[in-house]
């Protein structure tokens, strides 16, 4: 089952950006995502509560900045989410192309040159 914390669109995009960059400022995330401050803050807190993101204030050249960092638990959860989603998409592709999403073996009907499930005449 897809992780419901990550599956929400804005949180998924936050996780993807942090997977690529590991740490970003609040302003960089907000600008990249095109969200409002309140929206990003709410989603960031949900990710922090799940243990996927660490949020801290850090001193930089222009003063204090809020920084978002992907935790090791967050990286593992995102990788598991991506594997699960890819598996679902590959199953959907198999269904769309007329294949079967299950691992049921198929035999080839030599007279028609088509695959059919076992036990199908």
pLDDT, tens digit, for every residue of 71-102? 999 999 999 999 999 999 998 767 777 765 44
User: Does residue 33 sit within a domain?
Assistant: yes
User: Does residue 61 sit within a domain?
Assistant: yes
User: Does residue 102 sit within a domain?
Assistant: no
Give the number of domains in the chain: 1
Alpha-carbon span 6 to 18, nearest angstrom:
12
pLDDT in tens, 30-81: 999 999 999 999 999 999 999 999 999 999 888 999 999 999 999 999 999 9
User: Does residue 103 sit within a domain?
Assistant: no
pLDDT at 110: 45
User: Does residue 114 sit within a domain?
Assistant: no
Handedness of CA 50, 54, 57, 60 (dihedral sign): negative
| Helix, strand, coil share (%) of the chain residues, nearest 5 | 50, 20, 25
Query: For residues 53 and 14, is the Cβ–Cβ distance under 8 A?
Result: yes
User: The domain containing residue 76 runs over which residues?
Assistant: 4-96
User: Does residue 58 sit within a domain?
Assistant: yes
Residue 120 has pLDDT above 80, yes or no: no
Residue 116 has pLDDT above 60, yes or no: no
Alpha-carbon span 76 to 80, nearest angstrom:
6
pTM of the model: 0.73
User: Does residue 77 sit within a domain?
Assistant: yes
* CATH code of the domain covering residue 25: 1.10.10.10
User: Does residue 57 sit within a domain?
Assistant: yes
């Amino acid at each position: 089952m897809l992780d419901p914390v990550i599956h929400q669109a804005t949180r998924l995009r936050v996780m993807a950006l942090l997977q690529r960059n590991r740490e970003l400022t609040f302003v960089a995330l907000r600008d990249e995502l095109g969200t409002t401050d309140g929206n990003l803050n709410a989603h960031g807190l949900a990710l922090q509560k799940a243990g996927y993101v660490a949020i801290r204030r850090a001193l930089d050249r222009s003063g204090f900045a809020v920084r978002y960092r992907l935790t090791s638990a967050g990286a593992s959860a995102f990788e598991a989410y991506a594997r699960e989603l890819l598996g679902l998409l590959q199953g959907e592709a198999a269904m769309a192309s007329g294949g079967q999403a299950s691992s049921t073996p198929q035999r080839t009907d030599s007279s028609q040159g088509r695959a059919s499930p076992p036990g199908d005449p």
